[in-house]
Amino acid sequence: MALRFIDGFETYGPVSTSTRVLQEAMSGRWDCLQSYADADISIQAGAHGGLSLFMDSSDDYITKTLDNQQTWVVGFWLKMDTYYGSVRPFLLLYDGTNKQCEIRIDSPNKKLEVWTDQTYRGESTTVLDLDTWYFVEAKFVIDATASGTYELKINGTSEVSGSAVTSDSGNDYASSLTILNNYNNFYIDDLYICDGTAGLDDFLGLCKVSVSYPTSDSSPSAWTTSTGSDHYALVNDSERDTSEYVYTDTNTNEDMYNFTVSEVGTILGLQFGVECSANGSVVKEFRAIVRNGNDSNASKVIMGGVESPQSILVAAEYLPGTSTAWTNTTINATDFGCEKVS
C-alpha cells in the first residue's frame, strides 16, 4: 500500500498546546518529538481553519520511523515564521544515520534547496514569503548505483528535478523521516507520506487532511463500556481523554463503529486510528480494523504498565481488497474498530 501516513495535527490538543503535552499525545504516531524548551513546539492555527504544528527553536525535531523503501513522496503545507542567517536542514530522509535526501531552507534567499548524497542539487524558484502558506512536495528515488532521481514541487509546480544521483549510505532506500527546526521557525500542516509500491506512488497535489470521529455503534460491540451504553461515545474524543473508554479481556473480541462524513472533492485515502493500553503487567496485542467486505488492518503489541495509550494506524487509499477509491458513501458504509488479538 503506497499511502503510508497522514497527519493534519488536529487531534493533539487545542491552540497553544505545548511540547510536554504533545510528547505524550503524539506518541505512537511520531516516534520522537524533541524540543529545547516546553513552548518550542506547539499546536497553532492551521492552513485551512484547523490546526497545525509550530516549531519555534533550534534543534526541535519530529521523526517518523518507516521501513526500507526506495521511493518516498512527502507533501505538506508550510508557512515560514522566521528566517535565520544561513542554509539549514529542514526535512531529511535517513538510512540509519546516513542522510539519503534532504530539503534545506535557504534563509538569505527565502527558498528551498534539494540535496541528495549530501550534495547540493538545486534551489526552488519560488520565494517563500513570511506568513504565507505554500504546499511543498518532494519525491526521491534512492539508488546506490547513480540511478536515483529527485523532484521538488511548490503549489503543484515542479521547480527542481534531476536524475543520475547516488545514495549516501550505499543502500537503495531510506527508512525514516525527520522534520527539523534548525533556527528557522515554521508551521507545517496536512502532511502525507507515500512509498513507491503500487497505488498512490506519485505526487498527490494540493490537498488537506480532514478529521472525523465515530458517530454510531456498528456490530459487533463486544467490548465493555466504562460508563453508559453507547460505545462510540466513549472513543470519539477530539483530544485524548482516558477517563472514558471501552475494554475487554477476551481474545478475538471486536468493537466496531461507523462514521458519517460529507467531504467535498476527491478522497485520496484515509487513515483510521485507535489508541490502546494494557493494564497491569500483561502484554497484549490489538488490531485496528477497516472493514467493507474485506479487511485492512494493522496490529501492535503493547506492554503492560504503559501509562500512555499507544496509537495503531491503518492507512487505506482504497476500499479494502480493491482498487476502488473512497467516497463519502463508501466510508459511511464501512465498519471501523478494534480487536483484542491476544
Shared domain check, 266 and 158:
no
**Best CA proximity match to 193, nearest among 184, 181, 204:** 204
Choose one of 162, 195, 228: the last residue of a domain.
195
Question: Rounded to whole angstroms, how far apart are CA atoms 131 and 40?
Answer: 18
pLDDT tens-place values along the chain, 342 residues long: 589 999 999 998 888 777 777 877 887 789 888 776 655 788 999 999 899 999 887 778 899 999 999 999 999 999 999 998 889 999 999 999 999 999 999 999 999 999 999 999 999 999 999 999 999 999 999 999 999 999 999 999 999 999 999 899 999 999 999 999 877 899 999 999 999 887 766 899 999 999 999 999 999 999 999 999 999 999 998 877 888 999 999 999 999 999 999 988 899 999 999 988 887 777 889 999 999 999 988 888 877 666 567 889 999 999 999 999 999 999 999 999 999 998
Domain carrying residue 64: 3-195
Shared domain check, 233 and 183:
no
Q: Residue 256 carries which side chain, given as an amino acid letter?
A: M
The predicted-structure confidence for 69-101, as pLDDT tens digits, reads as follows 999 999 999 999 999 888 999 999 999 999 999
Supply 77's cell numbers: 503545507
Task: Write down the pLDDT at residue 20.
Answer: 73
Choose one of 134, 163, 195: the last residue of a domain.
195
Q: Residue 285 burial (CB < 10 Å; 0-12/13-18/19+)?
A: middle
Shared domain check, 301 and 167:
no
Choose one of 134, 161, 195: the last residue of a domain.
195
CB 165 within 8 A of CB 142: no
- The number of distinct structural domains making up the chain is 2
Shared domain check, 231 and 187:
no
Structural domain includes residue 208 = no
Shared domain check, 55 and 118:
yes
132 Cβ contact partners less than 8 Å away, ≥ 6 residues apart: 79, 80
